[in-house]
Structure 1
């Protein structure tokens, strides 16, 4: 089974939250390794949108079932974004693989996540 999630985030919203809360905001939504590369509001908005899109693909939203720190967004050598999802989340939701696309333009960031789920006896 494939599950899709998408999100659009206004860069100005991220900029306002960053201006108001500073490092506290970044620590809430980004893992330590993500904070070191989160220099521009556009990039932060992209990571935020990616995590929101992942939560939607899971069907949970951000909350008790899945939190901002349950996944890490990173780039490969070519600059393509990827997801590293915590093992407990991968197991709980039977995630076999995940794909991510992020774009930002016209003061918004958009992310799409596709999850391939393992077949389970419960869904068969």
Structure 2
């Protein structure tokens, strides 16, 4: 299962300027917020969570919300993604892989889920 998303960095930046930390809390957990050093990173995380939900075939909603998806960084700084146990079980996910890039004002993320 593959999902992809593109997000405007400017849109996430304006959202943060208008609502402050509450904007990030809408789609990020406290550990993810600690990783945000610039708007490009926040936009990449938004795109990653949208891509992850699309890889399930659901989009963000009742079956999988923003807080059901966790993003972290590996030892080499690579992005890592994990779904909550209830989502992994419901969709039969064995492993998940994430790639994020940003350029020219956009962040793009691709998620691949390997099923059991």
- Shorter-normalised TM range: over 0.9
Q: Which of 19, 39, 42 lines up with 1:41 in the alignment?
A: 39
* Alignment correspondent of 1:8: 6
How well do the aligned residues superpose, as a CA RMSD in angstroms? 0.7
Q: How does 1:3-82 map to 2 (within 5 A)?
A: 3-82=1-80
* Structure with bigger gyration radius: 1
What's the TM-score, normalizing by structure 2? 0.97
Question: In structure 2, what is the Cα distance between the partners aligned to 1:25 and 1:88?
Answer: 25
Number of residues paired by the alignment? 116
- Which runs of 5 or more residues in structure 2 are unaligned? none
Q: Which of 109, 112, 122 lines up with 2:110 in the alignment?
A: 112
Question: In structure 2, what is the Cα distance between the partners aligned to 1:35 and 1:75?
Answer: 12
Residue deviations 1:64-113 (CA, integer Å, cap 9, x gap): 11111101111111111110211011001100111100001111000000
Question: In structure 1, what is the Cα distance between the partners aligned to 2:62 and 2:83?
Answer: 16
- Which runs of 5 or more residues in structure 1 are unaligned? 119-124
Question: In structure 1, what is the Cα distance between the partners aligned to 2:94 and 2:61?
Answer: 22
The secondary structure found in structure 2 opposite 1:36 is helix
Question: In structure 2, what is the Cα distance between the partners aligned to 1:10 and 1:54?
Answer: 17
